[in-house]
Amino acid sequence: YTLKFNSLCIEKKENCSHIGSFFVGPRKKFMDQLRQKTIVSSWNEWDPLKHVIVGKADGACIPAPEPALDAKVPEDSDMRGQFGPRPKEMVDKANELLDQFASQLEGRGIRVDRPTPMEFNQKTSTPDWQAETMFGCMPPRDVLLTVGKEILEATMSYRCRWFEYLCYRPLLQKYYDEDSEMRHEAAPKPRLTDHDYRQDYLSDKIGVQKRLEWTANKFFVTTEEEVLFDAADVLRFGKDLVVQHGFTTNLKGIDWLARHFPGHRVHTVNFPGDPYPIHIDATFTPIKPGLIMNNPQRRLPEEQREMFDKNGWEIIDSAQPAHNSPPPLCYSSVWLSMNVLVLDTKTVCVEKSEVYQAEQLDKLGMEVVEVDLRDAYAFGGGLHCCTADVYREGTCEDYFPIQ
Ligand code: GLY
């Protein structure tokens, strides 16, 4: 009723002078939102955050088995052998936490948008494959890569996530309409035939030792058949983009990114020690210019540190996670502890139960904002995963002038 009332008022502002005080609050908020001009721009992971997308848990599914997913779900995971909609009480709890996080950000003056969930419990297909279910839209970071004025939809690398970009289209269309300089781009949709996946990984009896050997040798589940990347494998450092080569991003994907962003330097990294290398943001976390936290079980190899060393960047071990195991039905590891969201170079959001991570960041001089999110982890990750930048202040800077 209020919305309808307000939209009438927008069209006929002069007729609104009679409104009673009851409507002034919501109406003012609505009008303020309308007046806010959308600007898409974000060059790094730490400049002051002003506008962000926070995901939703509605209708999220445990996807059915498919080649890329089988390689990724830990061999001892409680999710193996089951698929379909996640339990309603877990969805409701996750949504409660995501809504609360969104309100916390809004309370700090950050504009928050939300995706439009779809019916994820449906079969999807292309001429090349069929998938029993989709995934969800809790982690926008996986799908959307914001580089300056561009928001790029990643190719994705699981069949169940092929159509996930549709949840973000209403927002992207709106940004495109409101910011005449915004660039809305989509990477080439991959075919995701069986040629994209190494058959060696189609077993739940590989064992962690073998997996560690394989991943250290850069023998990942995805082949070099075609361009593949997830947006959450990319970290933005101004003029430099650092991209993890692993299960969800292949070398062709990284080459495509380098060709697509000719004004940037694109660096390939990998992290031996991770038996399931997907997404860089529970492994390597920039906090501010000159400082990165690295997962101590997945250290950046010596030969890949040169660029950071030469330019005076410090790479420190992150604190240990507070938990010995992830929550039930969760794809991610306990290292979501370091999946923090930096609000500016002095302020960082850390999951409330991750007391060691909070303590480390506090000692590093950061103001730590506690966010209760653990019961939403299973839906696609932590605080960095469940957000995607729309606007951070600042410009494109060169943080690594010595190459
Ligand atoms: N790659 C995300 C994790 O460590 O769980």
Distance of CA 20 to the CA centre of its chain: 43
Pocket test of ligand 1: the residue of 247, 329, 335 to mutate, having most ligand atoms within 8 Å of its CB, is 335
For ligand 1, the distance from its centroid to the CA atom of residue 192, given in whole angstroms, is 22
Determine the atom of ligand 1 nearest the C-alpha atom of 274: 4
The alpha carbon of 283 and the centre of ligand 1 are apart by a number of angstroms equal to: 7
Tens digits of residue pLDDT in 340-372: 999 999 999 999 999 999 999 999 999 999 999
Q: Does the beta carbon of 318 sit less than 6 angstroms from any atom of ligand 1?
A: no
What would the pLDDT profile of 202-256 be if each residue is shown by its tens digit?
877 899 999 999 999 999 999 999 999 999 999 999 999 999 999 999 999 999 9
What does the pLDDT average to over 260-279? 97
pLDDT tens digits, 41-89 = 999 999 999 999 999 999 999 999 888 777 777 777 777 778 999 999 9
Using one digit for the tens of pLDDT, what is the confidence trace for 331-348? 899 999 999 999 999 999
Least confident of 51-60, 202-211, 258-267, 311-320: 202-211
Is 50 exceeded by the pLDDT of residue 320?
A: yes
Q: Tell me how far the alpha carbon of residue 28 lies from the centroid of ligand 1, in angstroms.
A: 42
What percent of the chain is predicted at pLDDT more than 90? 84
Which atom belonging to ligand 1 lies closest to the Cα atom of 326?
Answer: 5
Active site annotation includes 279: yes
* Rounded Cα–Cα distance for residues 190 and 343 (Å): 34
Q: Which ligand 1 atom is at minimum distance from the Cα of 334? A: 5
- Cα(279) to centroid(ligand 1), Å: 7
* Residue 8: band (very low, low, confident or very high) from pLDDT cuts 50, 70, 90: very low
The residue nearest atom 1 of ligand 1, judged by CA position, is: 278
The answer to whether residue 24 scores a pLDDT higher than 60 is no
Q: Which of 157, 208, 244, 276 to mutate to test the pocket of ligand 1 (most atoms within 8 A of CB)?
A: 276
Annotated catalytic residue 281: no
pLDDT at 284 over 60: yes
CA of 200 to the centre of ligand 1 (A): 21
**Residues linked to residue 266 through DSSP beta bridges, in sequence order:** 241
State the pLDDT at residue 80.
77
pLDDT in tens, 148-204: 999 999 999 999 999 999 999 999 999 999 999 999 999 999 999 999 999 999 877
Residue 196: predicted pLDDT: 96
Instruction: Decide whether any atom of ligand 1 lies within 6 Å of the 249 Cβ.
Output: no
Tell me if residue 230 is catalytic. yes
Choose, from 47, 385, 386, 389, the residue flagged as catalytic: 385
Q: Say which of 179, 279, 384, 386 is annotated catalytic.
A: 279
List own/partner pairs for 1-8 with CB under 8 A and 24 or more apart: 2/26, 2/27, 2/30, 3/30, 6/30, 6/31
Query: Chain-wide mean pLDDT for the chain?
Result: 91
Is 17's pLDDT higher than 50?
A: no
What's the 211 CA to ligand 1 centre distance in angstroms?
15
Hey, what amino acid is at 261? F
Check if 278 has its Cβ closer than 6 Å to any atom of ligand 1: yes
Does residue 137 line the site of ligand 1, with CB under 6 A?
no
Share of the chain above pLDDT 70, in %: 91
Q: What is the mean pLDDT of residues 99-124?
A: 98
pLDDT at 400 (0 to 100) = 98
The radius of gyration of the chain's CA atoms, rounded to the nearest angstrom, is: 21
According to the model, what pLDDT value does residue 2 have? Answer: 31
Distance from Cα 228 to the centre of ligand 1, integer Å: 18
- Whether the per-residue pLDDT at 25 is higher than 80: the answer is no
Q: Which position among 230, 233, 274, 281 bears the catalytic label? A: 230
In this prediction, residue 274 carries a pLDDT of 95
For the segment 25-49, the average pLDDT, to the nearest whole number, is 79
